[in-house]
């Protein structure tokens, strides 16, 4: 598909989705959120895609936040709808995608940008990255999952401080808090993402999808993560990937998984 605000490319089993609004520091407006939804959906449904990398264009920003001009005059009802629609189309959608999503944070990841990165299954960052949730400085709170995912990743106290101060942290601090998994030079960021993706791609896509669902279940109200793990573990025994993986192990050869 052709997009106005993003670039989506597939190479060697990796879909790279780049938010491409450099003049706006890649801020998320409604059109960009809709295009991201379409690109993630298309990549997830492509049997040839094993890993998705999401990043921002240019050297300054991953995503500098939401496009405030779009909602500055919204009513209470419109504000609730904005958050609900955002979760449906992008943030919850990405978090629950069956294909692994790596956020390659190159520069500023603020507000909705950090929330998008946190919706990914894990994050890596360039050494010039800055991350934060500045919403309370605008008289609002994070509305795209920030109040929920940040405490899960860094702990309640750290999350409360970041949200209440509206401050930014640098990449090394994010690494020490567990918000990102790796930090590297900006020019090496996508290479690192692709290197990690290559390791993921050696394994069973079917099993990885089940593992994502099981891990996520621990954070869903009304779901018992251990029960979900037992269910997904049992279901794995009925897959072609399980047959191939165990057979390859016993035959002392490299497994060739059928894929999605």
Query: What pLDDT is attached to residue 223?
Result: 81
Mean pLDDT of the chain: 96
pTM of the model: 0.95
Could you say which of 45, 115, 161, 240 is catalytic? 115
Q: What sign for the dihedral angle of Cα 198, 203, 208, 209?
A: positive
Q: For 40-87, what is each residue's pLDDT tens digit?
A: 999 999 999 999 999 999 999 999 998 888 888 999 999 999 999 999
Query: What pLDDT is attached to residue 221?
Result: 79
Cβ-based neighbours of 27, under 8 Å, separated by 6 or more = 21, 63, 64, 65, 66, 67, 112, 113
Residues forming a β-bridge with 7: 18
- Please check the confidence at residue 170 and state whether its pLDDT lies above 90: yes
- Please check the confidence at residue 173 and state whether its pLDDT lies above 80: yes
Query: What pLDDT is attached to residue 58?
Result: 92
Active-site annotation holds for 115:
yes
Cβ-based neighbours of 46, under 8 Å, separated by 6 or more = 10, 15
What backbone phi and psi angles, to 5 degrees, belong to 258? -60, -30
- Please check the confidence at residue 260 and state whether its pLDDT lies above 90: no
Q: How confident is the model at residue 1 (pLDDT cuts 50, 70, 90)?
A: confident
Query: What pLDDT is attached to residue 78?
Result: 95
Both ends of the chain: CA-CA distance in Å? 21
Tokens of 16: 């790279």
Mean pLDDT over 30-38 rounds to: 97
* Residue percentage of the chain with pLDDT more than 70: 100
Gap between the Cα atoms of 252 and 89, Å rounded: 44
**Does residue 149 or residue 221 have the better pLDDT?**
149
Query: What pLDDT is attached to residue 66?
Result: 87
Gap between the Cα atoms of 219 and 119, Å rounded: 13
Query: What pLDDT is attached to residue 3?
Result: 96
Mean pLDDT over 159-165 rounds to: 98
Query: What pLDDT is attached to residue 36?
Result: 98
Tokens of 85: 């629609």
Q: For 202-259, what is each residue's pLDDT tens digit?
A: 999 999 999 999 999 998 877 889 999 999 999 999 999 999 999 999 999 999 998 7
Could you say which of 9, 35, 135, 235 is catalytic? 135
Query: What pLDDT is attached to residue 69?
Result: 86
Angle between the N-to-C axes of helices 225-236 and 205-217, in degrees from 0 to 180, rounded to the nearest 10: 160
């Amino acid at each position: 598909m052709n997009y106005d605000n993003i670039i989506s490319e597939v190479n060697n089993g990796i879909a790279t989705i780049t938010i491409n609004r450099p003049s706006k520091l890649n801020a998320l407006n409604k059109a960009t959120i809709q295009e991201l939804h379409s690109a993630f959906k298309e990549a997830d449904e492509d049997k040839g895609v094993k890993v998705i990398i999401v990043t921002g264009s240019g050297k300054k920003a991953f995503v500098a936040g939401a496009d405030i001009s779009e909602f500055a005059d919204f009513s209470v009802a419109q504000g609730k709808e904005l958050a609900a629609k955002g979760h449906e189309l992008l943030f919850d959608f990405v978090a629950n995608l069956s294909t692994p999503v790596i956020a390659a944070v190159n520069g500023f990841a603020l507000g909705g940008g950090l929330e998008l990165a946190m919706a990914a299954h894990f994050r890596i960052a360039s050494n010039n990255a800055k991350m934060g949730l500045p919403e309370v400085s605008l008289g609002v709170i994070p509305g795209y999952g920030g109040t929920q995912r940040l405490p899960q990743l860094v702990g309640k106290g750290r999350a409360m401080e970041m949200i209440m101060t509206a401050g930014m942290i640098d990449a090394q601090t994010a690494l020490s808090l567990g918000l990102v998994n790796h930090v590297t030079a900006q020019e090496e960021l996508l290479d690192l993402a692709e290197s990690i993706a290559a390791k993921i791609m050696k394994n069973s896509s079917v099993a990885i999808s089940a593992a994502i669902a099981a891990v996520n279940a621990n954070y869903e109200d009304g779901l018992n993560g251990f029960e979900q793990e037992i269910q997904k573990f049992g279901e794995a025994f009925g897959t072609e990937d399980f047959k191939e993986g165990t057979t390859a192990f016993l035959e002392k050869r490299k497994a060739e998984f059928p894929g999605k």
